Amino acid sequence: MTHTLILSAILFATGLVTVIIKRNAIMVLIGIELMLNAANLNLIVFSRNNPSLSGQFLALFVIVVAVCEAAVGLAIVLRVYKYYQTSVPDQVHELKD
Amino acid sequence: MNLTEVALYAFEILAGAAALAILFVRNVFHAALLLIVCLTSLAGVFVIYNAEFIAVTQILVYAGGVLVLIIFGVMLSSRITGKPLLVSNQYLLPASFIGVLSTVIFIKLFSQQHFYQHPGAIPGNRISQTGIILMSDYVLPFEIAGILLLIALLGAAVIASSFNPKSNNGK
Amino acid sequence: MPELILACGILLLVVVALFLRGKKTNLHALLTLAILTASIAYTFFSWAFYHTPVTLFGNMIHSDQFSCYFRILVDVATALTVLMAMRNKSLSEKFNSEFYTFLLGAVLGSHLLMMSTNLVMVFISLELLSISSYILAGYSFTKKGAEGSLKYFLFGSAASAIMLYGFSILFGITGTLEFTAGDFVNNLSANQSALVIVAAIMAFAGFLYKIAAAPMHIWAPDVYEGSPMPVIAFLSVVPKLAGIVVLAKMTTTFATTTVSFDWQLVMAVIAMLSIGIGNLSALWQNNAKRMMAYSSIAQSGFLLIGVVCLTSQSMQAFLFYSALYLAANYAVFISLQAFEKNSIDSIASFSGTGRSFLFLSVVLLGGLISLTGIPPTGGFTSKLFMFASLWASYEQTGKTVLLWLLIFGLLNTVVSLFYYLKIPYYAFLKSPNASLSPENTRFENFLAFILVVGILFLFIRPDFLMGWLNTINFVL
């Protein structure tokens, strides 16, 4: 069981690093999907012999939510593209401190 | 080492390698393809951990839906700019430090932790059990998920069809 | 259940929008108001019934007077948002009906979030609230709006992914998702390790993001600047209240189980950081919307004091503070919207508005004074209750961090005076730089006036609301 948890830790860290380093909104979205999947992996490993299947259900709803996030997120990214001709979050800086 | 274990290790290594490779590619399209590989091998891992229904959903919804969305996004946005989407990196050193540190910390904490062991096993046919529980105990989140999907669908349509070049604030 | 009314309302709005496509009408807004009124009325009349908490849907949600009170507040806030939106011209005409659909979606999400006792419900209702907010944040359909909603979305999804990873670890340790159930508490107390604390802090990240508390606050100014005024008013109240209510519930669970770790310290530090960062950054702002964004960060620090203490006295103070915060915040945003209509948005352009918009400026002053917390407004009373509960909690536990929080909060109340009174200073003491042709703001005047009268009334008679709050049974 532990080696699957190691995989989940690696996936989570990879997702986090992707979110931080990649200068593109779609890549950040990919990183977020990796983090969500790391959580899903944990949930499924932990509910392996769970008769009430609760971990699996949370994982199922996470997948549903991920779809909604991706749909709304990509629509937002596309709109930013049309205004700015870029999806690099750093080059989007109409708003400043 | 029996066949299941070999398959489990193979799926895990594939998923991990694909995820790590995402860090090193510069083309967003390649990253999306690597994500498909990663998610599909995770579906294999899910099957071995008694979650067949989630595995099928993972393939249908994630690899089928989300990835198609992402690839649409990549293609539409590179059509606007007219060149392939290449991504550069930022904050490389601090981010890799955070990444390695969090991996090490989590692995260490996971190995020390005593996790709850569920007694017994899932009775009967797991997939039909999933359906029964989904429509009884989890009926409220199920309905809310329906409303969430409706809102997301409407929202994506409103956002994507709302571009108004006049409100471009100059430029 | 009011949630059923809201859910049917969402569907009804979608269908009605099909028939009214392309027509200029206020029918959507009126329908939304009717739905919200029905929800408020239902909650109000079932108040006595929930004196003993009710568990519904196989321990998914838990309905009690505590959540009823916040459900009423959220509905009132949304009704005010609808009234603001009816008078806002910058909202796109074309997607008018969808706006109200997303608004109701966010309300439904926050209702369920405040009642949920299961991590599945927490996650899915938080996401319903978040996704509706991402869409609403971009509703001005301008360049700035697009940018604001992109930032909100990226930070928000990352925060909720981190939160989910925390949930998954907590599930692994306890074997159950019902975070108020006995199993969860027992298994956590049996396994007190560093991993529990890491997972709990990760789980908090998502809520801290929603309430814009200190380490997770960076999105707020950008999103506020790019969004239309009704949406800002909504975002600064509804997700904040919902997030803090869940935070209070989860902190209660953790505080009773992992005794070896000082949760009060963590929460107190977060509260201090939010108050400090919010106030100090607000001092340097030139744009009224950005200033209000930092102000809302500081206010969530003050609201968190209720979570720091977690006594029934502090919970009452928190309930009272929330109502006053709602009223004052909406009074300010309604008058800011009226000013924005006359293209006054940067603080310098408020020069001399005290003469041309006397009534509106006085009402704005009332709201801002209440947010600062000086008499004669209910804001003073609510801050007094908050600090009194903090002091009582300090005397009870003797933890110095609570005393520091008290001193820091009092000092920052003085600091906040400088930026809250900046707009009235320009409005009343500077001479106008250009003559304005005032637009009709009678409706806004009236609405904000009612709120300010409420604020003043609660200063004179705080027992009016407090007496009602005393009947609430605090079993979190």
Asked whether residue B65 is assigned to any structural domain, the reply reads yes
Contact across the interface for A58 and C177, Cβ inside 8 Å? yes
Is the link from the previous residue into C376 a cis peptide, with omega within 30 of 0?
yes
Q: Are residues B81 and B137 in the same domain?
A: no
CA distance C471 to chain A (A): 36
- The predicted pLDDT at position A89 comes to 59
**Which of B89, B104, B135 is where one domain is finished?**
B89
Contacts of B159 (CB under 8 A, 6+ apart): A72, A75, A76, A78, A79, C135, C138, C149
Which percentage of chain B shows pLDDT scores above 90? 30
Contact across the interface for C131 and B148, Cβ inside 8 Å? yes
Contacts of A22 (CB under 8 A, 6+ apart): A28, A30, A31, B87, B89
Asked whether residue B4 is assigned to any structural domain, the reply reads yes
Residues in chain C with CB shorter than 8 Å from the CB of B112 are 193, 195
> Domain count of chain B?
2
- Distance CA(C335)–CA(C449), nearest Å, equals 9
Q: Predicted confidence band at C476 (pLDDT cuts at 50, 70, 90)?
A: low
Contacts of range B42-45, beta carbons closer than 8 Å, 24 or more positions apart: B42/A37, B42/A40, B42/A41, B42/B11, B42/B15, B44/B7, B44/B11, B45/A4, B45/A7, B45/A41, B45/A44, B45/B8, B45/B11, B45/B12, B45/B15
* Residue C316 in this model has a pLDDT that exceeds 80: yes
Best CA proximity match to C236, nearest among C279, C294, C195: C294
- Distance CA(C204)–CA(A51), nearest Å, equals 28
User: For residue B139, what are the domain limits?
Assistant: 126-162
- Distance CA(C129)–CA(C108), nearest Å, equals 8
Q: What is the ipTM of this complex?
A: 0.91
Contact across the interface for C124 and A47, Cβ inside 8 Å? no
Q: Name which of C35-44, C93-102, C289-298, C394-403 the model is least confident about.
A: C93-102
Residue listed under structure tokens 């100014």? C221
- Distance CA(A81)–CA(A88), nearest Å, equals 9
Q: Are residues B77 and B144 in the same domain?
A: no
Q: Are residues B5 and B65 in the same domain?
A: yes
Q: What's the DSSP call for residue B63?
A: I
- The predicted pLDDT at position A38 comes to 94
CA distance B8 to chain A (A): 9
Asked whether residue B109 is assigned to any structural domain, the reply reads no
CB of B45 within 8 A of CB of B72? Answer: no
Q: What is the arithmetic mean of pLDDT over C162-181?
A: 89
Q: Predicted confidence band at C90 (pLDDT cuts at 50, 70, 90)?
A: low
| pLDDT: which is higher, B84 or C124 | C124
Q: What is the arithmetic mean of pLDDT over B138-159?
A: 91
- The predicted pLDDT at position C251 comes to 86
Contact across the interface for B144 and C175, Cβ inside 8 Å? no
- The predicted pLDDT at position A96 comes to 44
CB contacts under 8 A, A 11-40 vs B, are 11-18, 20-24, 26-27, 29-31, 33-34, 37, 40
We report the CATH number of the domain holding residue B27 as: 1.20.120.1200
- The predicted pLDDT at position C92 comes to 58
Q: Are residues B26 and B73 in the same domain?
A: yes
Contact across the interface for A63 and B100, Cβ inside 8 Å? no
CB contacts under 8 A, B 61-100 vs A, are 61-62, 65-66, 69-70, 72-74, 76-77, 80-81, 85, 87-92, 94-96, 98-100
Q: Are residues B62 and B5 in the same domain?
A: yes
Asked whether residue B78 is assigned to any structural domain, the reply reads yes
Q: Is A93 helix (H, G, I), strand (E, B) or coil?
A: coil
- Distance CA(C424)–CA(C362), nearest Å, equals 8
Q: What is the arithmetic mean of pLDDT over B133-140?
A: 88
Q: Name which of A71-75, A90-94, B38-42, C455-459 the model is least confident about.
A: A90-94
Site from B144, B149, B159, B163 to mutate, C interface, most C CB atoms within 10 angstroms: B144
- The predicted pLDDT at position B13 comes to 93
**Closest alpha carbon within chain C to B148:** C128
- The predicted pLDDT at position A90 comes to 58
Asked whether residue B151 is assigned to any structural domain, the reply reads yes
Q: What is the arithmetic mean of pLDDT over C102-128?
A: 92
Q: What is the arithmetic mean of pLDDT over B95-124?
A: 83
Best CA proximity match to C104, nearest among C219, C44, C14: C14
| pLDDT: which is higher, C252 or C241 | C241
Q: Are residues B140 and B83 in the same domain?
A: no
- The predicted pLDDT at position A8 comes to 93
Q: Predicted confidence band at B170 (pLDDT cuts at 50, 70, 90)?
A: very low
CB of A44 within 8 A of CB of C173? Answer: no
Q: Tell me the C-alpha to C-alpha distance, in Å, between residue A94 and each of B52, B171, C34, C146, C155.
A: 47, 11, 38, 10, 18
Q: Name which of A24-28, C88-92, C281-285, C345-349 the model is least confident about.
A: C88-92
* Residue B165 in this model has a pLDDT that exceeds 70: no
Contact across the interface for A61 and B61, Cβ inside 8 Å? no
At C349-396, the pLDDT tens digits run 777 777 777 888 888 888 888 888 888 888 888 888 888 988 888 888
Q: Predicted confidence band at A95 (pLDDT cuts at 50, 70, 90)?
A: low
CB of A60 within 8 A of CB of B57? Answer: yes
- The predicted pLDDT at position C205 comes to 87
**Closest alpha carbon within chain C to A58:** C120
**Closest alpha carbon within chain B to A85:** B81
Q: Are residues B59 and B134 in the same domain?
A: no
CB contacts under 8 A, B 13-72 vs A, are 15-16, 19-20, 22-23, 28, 31-32, 35, 38-39, 42, 45-46, 49-51, 53-54, 57-58, 61-62, 65-66, 69-70, 72
CB atoms within 10 A of CB C137: 29
- The predicted pLDDT at position C362 comes to 85
Q: Where are the domains of chain C?
A: 262-476
Q: Predicted confidence band at A93 (pLDDT cuts at 50, 70, 90)?
A: low
Q: Which two tokens stand for residue A61?
A: 């709803």
- The predicted pLDDT at position C15 comes to 87
Q: Which helix (H) or strand (E) holds C62?
A: strand C61-63
Q: Are residues B71 and B135 in the same domain?
A: no
Residues in chain B with CB shorter than 8 Å from the CB of C124 are 141, 144-145, 148
- Distance CA(C297)–CA(C412), nearest Å, equals 13
| pLDDT: which is higher, B76 or A14 | A14
Q: What's the DSSP call for residue C230?
A: H
Contacts of C469 (CB under 8 A, 6+ apart): C69, C316, C319, C320
- The predicted pLDDT at position B89 comes to 73
Best CA proximity match to C393, nearest among C300, C319, C314: C314
Q: Are residues B83 and B138 in the same domain?
A: no
* Residue B119 in this model has a pLDDT that exceeds 90: no
Rg (CA), chain A: 17
Best CA proximity match to C184, nearest among B137, B116, B112: B116
Which percentage of chain C shows pLDDT scores above 70? 95
Contact across the interface for B152 and A48, Cβ inside 8 Å? no
Q: What is the arithmetic mean of pLDDT over C163-178?
A: 90
- Distance CA(C441)–CA(C430), nearest Å, equals 22
CB atoms within 10 A of CB C301: 28
At B3-17, the pLDDT tens digits run 888 999 999 999 999
CA distance A7 to chain B (A): 6
**Which spans in C138-177 are helix H?**
143-174
Best CA proximity match to B114, nearest among A72, C437, C169, A53: C169
- The predicted pLDDT at position C126 comes to 93
Domains along chain A? 2-91 (1.10.287.3510)
- The predicted pLDDT at position C168 comes to 93
The C-alpha angle with vertex C393 and arms to C388 and C394, in degrees rounded to 5, equals 95
The C-alpha angle with vertex C90 and arms to C89 and C92, in degrees rounded to 5, equals 95
- The predicted pLDDT at position C113 comes to 92
The C-alpha angle with vertex C408 and arms to C403 and C413, in degrees rounded to 5, equals 130
Asked whether residue B5 is assigned to any structural domain, the reply reads yes
Subunits with 3+ C-beta pairs closer than 8 A to C = A, B
Q: For all residues of chain C together, what is the average pLDDT?
A: 85
Q: Name which of B20-29, C84-93, C158-167 the model is least confident about.
A: C84-93
At B43-95, the pLDDT tens digits run 999 999 888 899 999 999 888 888 888 888 888 777 666 666 677 777 888 88
**Which spans in C116-228 are helix H?**
119-137, 143-174, 182-190, 194-210, 219-226
